Amino acid sequence: MKIIGNWRVLPPSIRKIVRVMKISVFLVLVCTLQLSASVMLGQQVNLQSGEMSVREVFKELKAQTGTYFMFSEKEVDESLTVNANFSQVSLKEALDEMCKQTSLKYEIIDDYVLITKRPRVIEQKQEEKKELRGKVTDEKGEPLPGASVVVKETTIGVSTNLDGEFKLKIPNNGKVIILISSIGYKTKEIKVGDKLDFKVKLEPDTEVMSEVVVTGYFNKAKESFTGTTVAVSSEELEKLGNVDVFTAIQSFDASFKIVENDLMGSDPNSMPNIQIRGQANFPGISETELKGNTNMPTFILDGFEVSAQKVFDIDKNRIASITILKDASATAIYGSRAANGVVVIETKKPLAGKMQVTYNSSIDISLPDLSDYNLLNAKEKLEAEKLAGVYDTWNGDFNGMANQMELDALYNKRLLAVKSGVDTYWLAKPLQTSVGQMHSLFLEGGDEFMRYGLEMSYNKNVGVMKGSGRDRYNTGIYLQYNTKNIVFKNKLDITYVKAKNSPYGSFNQYVRLNPYYRPTDDEGNMVFKLGEGEIGSHIQQYNPLYEAEKFDNFDRNEYIDVRNNLSVDWKITSELRLKGNASISKKFANAESFVSPGSVQFIGFEEKDFFQRGSYTISDTKTTNLDANVVLSYFKNFNNHVVNAVLGGEIQSNHDFNEGYTAVGFLNDKLNHINFANQFRPNSKPTGYESESRLAGSFLSFNYSYDNRYLFDASSRIDGSSKFGKLQQTAPFWSLGTGWNLHNEEFLKDKFFLSSLKLTANLGTSGNQNFNAYQAITTYKYLSEVRYGLLTGAVLKSLGNEDLKWQSTLSRNLGVELGLLDERIKVVGNYYLNTTHDLLTNISIAPSLGFRSFNANMGDVDNEGYELRVQAFPIRNKENGMMLSFFANLRHNKNTIKKISNSLKAYNDKVIENMRKEIELDNDNDRTNDVALDDRTTTESILQFKEGQSLNAIYAVKSMGIDPTTGEEIFIKKDGSLTNVWSPEDLVVVGEAAPKFEGFFGGAFDYKGFSLNYNFNYRLGGQILNQTVIDRVENAKFYENADKRALEQRWARSGDHTPYKNITNKKVTRASSRFVEDDNSLTLTNVNLSYQLPDHFANSLSLSRVKLGVHLTDVFRWSSVETERGIYYPFARKYSFSLKVNF
């Protein structure tokens, strides 16, 4: 204490006594003191000194008023100054002014003034708080909703809204530190200075998914969401190298399944079929009535529905995130389009700042994978032929009417060829090791008002069959303009795709060719007929290479897709937001094929048809899509309640227009423009179709969470569609969901190593309206080729169904998300049961109605299953960037037909009936004389739809195997008795083609810029009817090449225990349980290694980031079934080398 004046001379003890006395005096004489204080403070002071130390001011004031000032030297520092300009003011006013300028306060005690520092509590009451605003984003600049913003060491805090923005009132004193945190991100500390507007970027903690659920229309905070979604980030996609988007997604979500296509293999132009959570449509039958594949999910790109093909051809480098919406809570807002799940893709938006360039490039090498083919070589083939009796006169099947001498000569001729070393590996002939490449360039930049992005990419995908490939060109312009409350965005996107199919035709032709033939003659000229001039062999094999290499046949298609998306995002208040989007797109597709006049097809044309040789077919399709939506969202966060409500409306229109024609009569294949054609194909007319469909819908989505513990979701949508019948034009859909964040409960907080635990349950409906545009209406068509006298007329085309409506799926989902040990172990599990009602099928009706069938909603299918995903991070060292992780996912889906229509029942019977007729015909005719019959023989599994069974059930006759004594197959009839006769009445379910469990597992290791990851795919517990064994071993036709097993594992003599019957047995083998094998497989789908150059090295090249990568796809595959895969197009292994540069 320091008292100016004589106080300071008193010893401390006395001073204390004096003080106590003063306080008691103060209490007694409070009134007088009040008076004396006011008198004291009323004294006039005058000081005009400007900036001056506080102590000096007190000295001066004492001199003028005689008042003592008491203060601590510590609190009133010498350096503390005030601006002292007091002209004829009272002492009070002077003191007030001084306190205002500093953090001091004063008290009148007796006749002196006590100066102290303002204590905190009082300060806060007195001082106004200042408001802090800010925006929290993730590392990519995407807003991060639900992040918590807290003032350090206090309870003051808020969480960010959907745009990642927050407002926080903080005390207006010196040093305030705020903590910003969000699950999955590193917590950030920020010192608040004078700046009150922040942009905070959070770095991801580990490989944690973004905490926003992107629904396409709007974003939801993930922590309060009760639906099931899976998100894939651009970094994760990047790791996989240059593969198409579908292939990339499937390793992240087990329920997203690319239906394995053993027929089309790795054809770059074959669009994969996708199922999310099982299939709900009758295969084969309904597909003709329904548009395309009806199990395909709906794809949403930047808020608008797009075709699967658009996604197939997208530049993967431009994708910011992919979100798969699976259950009712997640998909109900998509109403009548959501039943098969929704895949929402968002592309990258440009970031502000000076111009940044990102360049991605890759070189892709594909090698054909023929490991599934196990064919006889020339020597073995000849031996097999000999054994099968090809060179015996009794065997008319192969040798027609030749005599034994001719047959011996034929054998010897072939033997000579074999001995002289002819062993043509025909499979390799149409194949190549292909080299493709990809380049993608992105420029971005801008300021706080204006942002731009320019993109350009070229992706040349070369197939392993010579001449096949797919070239994709893409360019886009993105512009964004921000005003205070409104953001305008516009994206123009142009895609050009050019696809070529191989002129070498279907791969299965090459599989059949005999290896003892050579494709060229002695002079090296391509031969047309293989083994020309052979007597006795009445099956002529043609050389497909002749056609492919001698003529310029082509089969190609291309399209241009131009798309413009405009969006206006208006923040009306901090809680209310209105977003409007509009999109227009036009696609011009063109398919052309040309067959040279010299082609095999035209051999044998008569002279009068000379000008009909060669053909050119053109088909043009124009597609126009219009789509617009308006979304009004409301977000309110008060106390512990968070409410998020969204109201939206959408209209959509789709128009397809197709025309096509064929012209014939070309002179040679150099003159192959349509212009050189002589005429249209005789008796043909132009073809084409037209279809228009429209959709209008509105939706409401409501999300509420209390204290981030109890969550509730509800949404509904009403859709109207022109595809529905007159009486059914609006379709209502709804969903309800609830969830519980157990980790936010007191009793579980920081217990049992538990870092997060969330339970969710939801149910709701969604629909599918993926059928043809005019199915519900009765229409007339004009008969253009029939006249009646001089008049032409119109007739009814079909019987419409005014009650036709959407297929509706009731889905139920239970989910659990568990995180242990600070999210080092994460488990996500879901159980679902989806019932699809009102399946659209063709119904048989009484023909007296004038039509035999019409489309109606009939049939129920159940899909029940569960998904599990486990992820572990044994090493997660943030300091040195070392990370080791493993993951495994599993999916189980069981499919049950609940109800089928009468026409499907009739179909079942008809199939059986046809089989019976076919067998009858076989017995009637002397089959050995009619090779053509083979093509009519059904050896496949018989497609049947039975209530209670699965859509993937394999129907065949039960078999005991091959009788070792006779070499004949023994069948088990339905009544249990044994027989040698295959009969369609005995068809039973012998297997289930869908695997019991399937999924992926793999791991990743990151260290010092190196990153390695690998994924395995597994399938367990399903069955397959091994068609290769039936067709290429048992029914092997020895005039063409066959599987090795045909020679090696066949029954030969009594007592042989073999899986296959006698080589000379020409009886047709049909589907039986003997060929049903367990289909277990393991595939190393990809291995990726990448290295990011150290920053200083990159900088020395004046680049900001350089990343190199090696990617291996479909490295190896093990399967319990030996079956030929890639029938029309072989599979391939792909090796890519990638480069990513930022500067």
What is the nearest approach in angstroms of other proteins to the Cβ of residue 429?
A: 43
Name residue 116's beta-bridge partners: 105
- CB-based contacts of 678, cutoff 8 Å, min separation 6: 611, 612, 663, 664, 665, 666
The sign one gets for the Cα dihedral 1041, 1047, 1052, 1055 is: negative
Q: Are 305 and 334 in contact (CB under 8 A)?
A: no
Nearer to other proteins, 647 or 1093 (CB): 647
- Report in angstroms how near the CB of residue 632 gets to other proteins at its nearest: 6
Amino acid occupying residue 984: P
The nearest distance, CB 161 to other proteins, in angstroms, is: 18
DSSP helix/strand/coil, 467: coil
H/E stretch holding 768: strand 754-768
The residues binding other proteins (CB under 8 A) are 572, 576, 578, 580, 630, 632, 647, 649-651, 657, 688-696, 698, 720-722, 729, 773-774, 777-783, 786-797, 799-801, 845-852, 854, 917
- Closer to other proteins by Cβ: residue 463 or 720: 720
Smallest CA-to-CA distance from 69 within 24, 106, 117, 119 is with 106
> Across 22-103, where does the E strand assignment appear?
44-53, 68-71, 81-90
Q: How far is the CB of 725 from other proteins (least distance, A)?
A: 11
Closest by CA to 537, choosing from 668, 687, 691, 382, is 382
When the beta carbons of 244 and 650 are compared against other proteins, the nearer one is 650
Q: Which is nearer to other proteins, 374 or 772 (CB)?
A: 772
Nearest-CA neighbor of 999 among 244, 243, 256, 236?
256
d(CA 331, CA 735): 9
Considering the complex, state which of residue 277 and residue 579 has its C-beta at the smaller distance from other proteins. Answer: 579
Measured CA to CA, the distance from residue 273 to residue 843 in angstroms comes to 26
CB 363 within 8 A of CB 460: no
Q: How far is the CB of 388 from other proteins (least distance, A)?
A: 33
Is residue 680 within 8 A of residue 664, CB to CB? The reply is: yes
- Name the 3-class secondary structure at 428: helix
**Minimum CB distance to other proteins, residue 797 (Å):** 6
Given the complex with other proteins, which of 626 and 736 has the nearer CB atom? 626
Q: Give me the least distance between CB of 799 and other proteins, in Å please.
A: 7
CB of 651 to other proteins, least distance (A): 7
In sequence order, the β-bridge partners of residue 763 are 736, 812
Minimum CB distance to other proteins smaller for 27 or for 790? 790
> Smaller CB distance to other proteins: residue 12 or 789?
789
Taking the complex as a whole, the smallest distance from the CB of residue 372 to other proteins amounts, in Å, to 40
- The distance of closest approach from Cβ of residue 578 to other proteins in the complex, given in angstroms and rounded to an integer, is 6
Q: Provide the minimum distance between the beta carbon of 1099 and other proteins in the complex, in angstroms, as a whole number.
A: 48
Nearer to other proteins by C-beta: 400 or 688?
688
Output the 3-class SS for 1058-1080.
CCECCCCCCCCCCCEHHHEEEEE
- 562 phi/psi in degrees, rounded to 5: -115, 130
Compute the least distance from the CB of residue 425 to other proteins, in Å.
46
How many separate helices (H) and strands (E) can be counted in the chain? 20, 55
Least spacing, CB of residue 688 vs other proteins, in Å: 7
Nearer to other proteins, 429 or 694 (CB): 694
CA-CA distance, 376 to 1050, in Å (whole number)?
Answer: 14
CA distance 751 to 891: 30
Q: Both tokens of residue 1048? A: 């090696």
Q: Which residues pair with 305 in a beta bridge?
A: 300
Q: Are 442 and 345 in contact (CB under 8 A)?
A: no
For other proteins, the closer of residues 447 and 909 by Cβ is 909
Matching residue, tokens 């969830």: 739
Burial class (CB within 10 angstroms; exposed 0-12, middle 13-18, buried 19+) of 877: exposed
Angstrom distance (rounded) from CA 940 to CA 1029: 11
**Please, which residue, 690 or 1078, has the CB nearer to other proteins?**
690
Find the helix or strand (DSSP H, E) in which 60 lies.
Answer: helix 54-65
Q: Which is nearer to other proteins, 4 or 776 (CB)?
A: 776
